[in-house]
Structure 1
Amino acid sequence: MKLQILTTLIPALVPLIHAAPARRDTENPGLRGSESLLGYSSSNKGGGSSPPDIKYTLLPGQKEDPKIGSYLDFEKADNPQPIRGSTGSDDPGPRNYNYDRINSDKLAPPGTDHGQTINAQWPMGKFDYLVGESQLGQDGAGWARQENVNVMPDATLMAGVDMRLEPAGYRELHWHVAAEWSLVLNGSCRIQAVNENGETFIDDVVAGDVWFFPPGIPHSIQALDDGVEFLLVFDDGDFSEDNTFLASEVFLHTPKEVLSKNFGLDVSAFDKIPEDELYIFKGTPAPADIEKQNVKTSAGLVPRTESYSYHFSEQPAHEVAGGSVKIVDPLTFPIASNFSAAVVTVHPGGMREVHWHPTSDEWTFFISGQGRATLFTAPNAATTFDYRGGDVGYFPKSNSHYIENTGDEDLVFVEVLQAPSFTDMSLGQWIGSTPKQIIADTLNLSNDTLSKLKPEKQYVVAGKST
């Protein structure tokens, strides 16, 4: 009976509910207008009183065919506009002009861009610095900033950290679930580790050197007299510095009675352990003589063939027309079993040739200079991104891209792969080593053009001579 009454009343109530007038704000009537403003008005004459007066000067490249896609240097432009050839239109704002000036390929993309690819660019400077603690009477110990899937959701294969330690600063004793590959950017530091066999390792590394610690291997890093900054790359895009296993936290969250039993010490021995994580902190400067810290166990030292460091700084660069390339991979650094990398220098006007990696995504960190890259994703999506020192680039497996130097100084970056050796496919070599008839039939290139194609990989090509 109750159900029958409800089903009868509800349909009758619905129109009343919808017809109920909105409550007026009688206390602050000036906050809202009146119903007379709704819809057509007899006073409406159409259009504004005057169009916006936008003054600007187009760069020479903005007057070209958009598919030429010349780099647009908006750094000194008073009022850069989203215009290329006959495409686009002026923009009166509101806009972030500082952002537009350093991201000209976002504001006025080349006519060859199309559709939407993944976001392949992240400035490390947009991440809140993770700062190290200073001890009483000491300056700060350092900082870290990171990139992972939280900021680049499609960068699933690798994540990165840029870290700075002041002189005598520590990245405290720790280990990770992920593998850690590192390139020293400047300064120097002492690295130390113990493996699962009890073999010990210690070494000093300087700018340009590389280290690697497998998952679960506990290690520490301490800056030497000149401090240090280094890049860390992890084989997990979800990696976060917040999820590191720290020695201080292990001791803090293990009952002291258990610690006493484990180490064969009195419980009081642990009265002064840290009450919180240390993470980055300053300590006693490392002795100049590394042998004083070379602890040896019955298991001995980590074998040289399994060394956790590689003195990449001492490896000569391979010079090419537009710059240079240095490669380090498991063929020369065996312990880093699936990390392959190239440090690339591109002279002004040159570019890392159009290429792709058949078996791995590419995680790129821009060390210095400025450049741009177009990411092409099948079947027809292409996006051009602008990069500066401190930015991260990410290019998925088999997606073609180049990196062009758009500044007036050398562009330096490191490409990191998850691969047993560093390899790539070169667009130039592919086209140059394919029978000319096939290329002519496919791309409609002239015989003169075909005769100039190169069958060898270039790595970095030089800019056009002026």
Structure 2
Amino acid sequence: MDNSAFEMHGDAPQKGLSVEKMNIISRMEKKRQWSLVSIFLLCLLACTITTAVGVLILSLVYINNSQPHSDVYFKPEAQPLQTEVPMVQTAVDPKFQFLNHLPKSKVFEFAGGAIQWARYRNNVKDYLSAEEEAFGTSLNSQRSQMTLGTLRIKSNGLRAPHWHFNANEHGYLVQGTAWIGVVDDGGEVVTTYNVTAGQVIFFPQNTLHWIKNVGNEDCFFLLFFSTHDELQTLDVDDVFFSTPEDIASRSLKPEGGIDFIRTFSKQKEDQGVNLPPNLAELVMNASYVQSPDSLVWRYFFDLKGSKEFQFPGGVIQHAQYWKNGSELNNNEKIFSEFLNQHQNALTLSTLRIYNNGLRQPHFHFNANEMGYVLSGCGKVGITSTQGAIEFNIHIGDVIFFPIGTQHYIKSTCDEDLLFILAFSTGDQLQTLDMDDYLQATADHILAQLFFKKQRKLNTMQAFLLLIAVKGSKEVTFVCTY
């Protein structure tokens, strides 16, 4: 028979011991919990104190900087103490991000001509004004792949043989007659050709080339380079005189060897655009031959003789790559395909806007745009993320429109407004005009956006569509410019 009373009293010591252990464990857990809470509170207090100190320091700095103060500079003992007044930096008009008054820039004079630049400069001290710096900085920060230079060569003057390390070169001859030379890889093929006003020349990056004025009047070129960094160029005469005499002698192997090399002397003046005073004694019976068309048209394009694309208020012509070259002649196809083979090539165009004509608001999908005003005057409007800007333009001004920036150009003079334009693409230019994107947007979307009755907007869209259907040339223009 089981004795329940015995069992109960026999378990009592064990239960007492268990209760005591549980109490000890409970006290330990409470102490550990209190230790964690203490650590947390201590960290919280430290963070609070650190934050308060930081706020106090920032407040003191702000108060100190917000109060006007003067820096005292000690001069030599003979001079009294003076307080230097800090120079106030005047704000530059935002329009100079898009506008450069090139006639006001520095003229680099040579014996045979002159060069001027609208470009980015590594050394800010090379800018003549804050406005010029704003334009150069804009070209660089927008990664425009754009630099513009004007080159004037006197009669019989020579732009020395040279090449560019970091850019392709596209040129438009505004005035005069020139003879061009291009040396291909390996020097096995030399392409020479003549250009006259209205024609385009192209030199791929690192291609040796020269330009010689063979007419009686000055040659005036507009040159566009596919770089937004400072242009890097090397002339042949500079290379020659930088080469040790023995190296030049062993490389060129002239009759007379190193003694002949030593007969050359470097001129004191830069020969970038060369015209020796005794040229008649140095050169006799010069020959200005023209290479076969298959070679010439890689580096040459007759822009003035190319197809014209009409639009209401003006006309445009292109020297560019065409995806569909069915309307190009054989020589134009050579230029189009050769252009597209080179990375970072440009598109060149002429844009003529008649008196009071308008190149309506538009933007380019795949290119930055740079332009030079050849004749006339006008008004330019730009709409960008920074707001709307409008300014006047005149002969010699350079304009710049970053990719995707909507802009318009209006002629405001009695004569035509004529531009030479360059676009930073070797592909076919892609453009969208205001009337096209408004016509393409559903009328009920426009009604909701502009708080305008739908039937009114439908009437405007129908009118825009009628214009597009009537003029096939306008449609072509919209697709290509």
- Normalised to the residue count of structure 1, the TM-score between the two structures is 0.67
Seq. identity, %:
21
Aligned residue among 411, 419, 429 for 2:436: 429
* AA in 1 matched with 2:203: F
Over 3 Å counting, the alpha-carbon distance change for 1:401 and 1:303 in structure 2 is same
1:278 to 271, 277, 287: 271
Distance 1:414 1:431 in 2: 28
Q: 2:195 aligns with which of 205, 214, 223?
A: 205
Q: Which residue of 1 aligns with 2:30?
A: none
Alignment of 1:308-457 (within 5 A): 308-331=299-322, 332=332, 333-334=335-336, 335-337=338-340, 338-378=345-385, 381-419=387-425, 420-445=427-452, 446-447=456-457, 448-454=459-465, 456=468
From 282, 287, 290, give the equivalent of 2:288: 290
CA 1:273–1:201 in structure 2 vs 1: closer, same or farther (change >3 Å)? farther
Matches of 2:171 and 2:201, distance apart in 1: 5
Q: Of 139, 152, 163, which aligns to 1:155?
A: 139
Determine if contact 1:186/1:228 at 8 Å carries over to the other structure.
yes
Q: Note if contact 1:369-1:412 (Cα within 8 Å) is conserved in structure 2.
A: yes
> How much does 1:360 deviate?
1.5
**Structure 1 pair 180/287, CA: closer, same or farther in 2 (3 Å)?**
farther
Question: 1:189: how far off?
Answer: 0.6
Structure 2 partner of 1:269: 260
How far has the Cα of 1:233 moved from its partner?
A: 0.5
Q: 1:80-159 maps to which residues of 2 (within 5 A)?
A: 119-133=97-111, 141-150=112-121, 151=132, 152=135, 153-156=137-140, 157-159=145-147
**Higher RCO (CA 8 Å, separation ≥ 6 residues):** 1
In terms of Rg, which structure is larger? 2
For the residue of structure 2 that corresponds to 1:453, the secondary structure is helix
Summarize deviations over 1:389-417 as a string: whole Å, max 9, x none. 11111111101001111222100012211
Q: Could you say if the C-alpha distance between residues 440 and 415 of structure 1 is closer, same or farther in structure 2, counting changes exceeding 3 Å?
A: farther
Which residue of structure 2 lines up, in the alignment, with residue 62 of structure 1? none
Contact 1:168 1:286 in 2 (8 A): no
Query: What is the letter of the counterpart of residue 272 of structure 1?
Result: F
| Aligned partner of residue 452 in structure 1, secondary structure | helix
Instruction: Note the 1:45-84 alignment, pairs <5 A.
Output: none
Local SS of the residue matching 2:271: coil
Aligned to 1:50: none
Residue in 2 aligned with 1:59?
none
Which of 191, 200, 221 is the aligned partner of 2:180? 191
Q: Which moved more, 1:359-368 or 1:303-312?
A: 303-312
The structure with more helix, counted as a fraction of residues: 2
Alpha-carbon distance between aligned partners in 2 of 1:168 and 1:143, rounded to the nearest angstrom: 14
For this pair of structures, how many residues does the alignment match? 342
Q: Structure 2 unaligned segments of length 5 or more: list them.
A: 1-68, 84-92, 122-131, 323-331, 469-473
Any conservation in 2 of the 1:120–1:394 contact (CA below 8 Å)?
A: yes
1:39 equivalent in structure 2: none
CA distance in 1, matches of 2:462, 2:309: 27
1:172 corresponds to: 160
Whichever residue aligns with residue 99 of structure 2, its letter is Q
Gap runs ≥5 in structure 1: 1-17, 33-105, 107-115, 134-140, 295-300, 462-466
Q: Is the 8 A contact 1:189 1:227 kept in 2?
A: no
TM-score by length of 2: 0.65
Instruction: Pick closer, same or farther for the CA change 1:25–1:278 going to 2, 3 Å.
Output: closer
Q: Alpha-carbon deviations, 1:360-411, whole Å to 9, x = none?
A: 2111111111112122112x51211221111111111101001111222100
Partner of 1:85: none
Residue 37 of structure 1: aligned partner: none
Shift of 1:303: 4.0
| Partner residue in 1 for 2:211 | 221
Q: One-letter code of the match for 1:410? A: D
C-alpha contact (below 8 Å) 1:351/1:403 kept by paired residues: yes
- Matches of 2:185 and 2:433, distance apart in 1: 41
Residues in 2 aligned to 1:442 and 1:400: alpha-carbon distance in whole angstroms = 19
1:260 equivalent among 249, 252, 255: 249
Please show how residues 211-250 of structure 1 align to structure 2 within 5 Å.
211-225=201-215, 226-240=217-231, 243-250=232-239
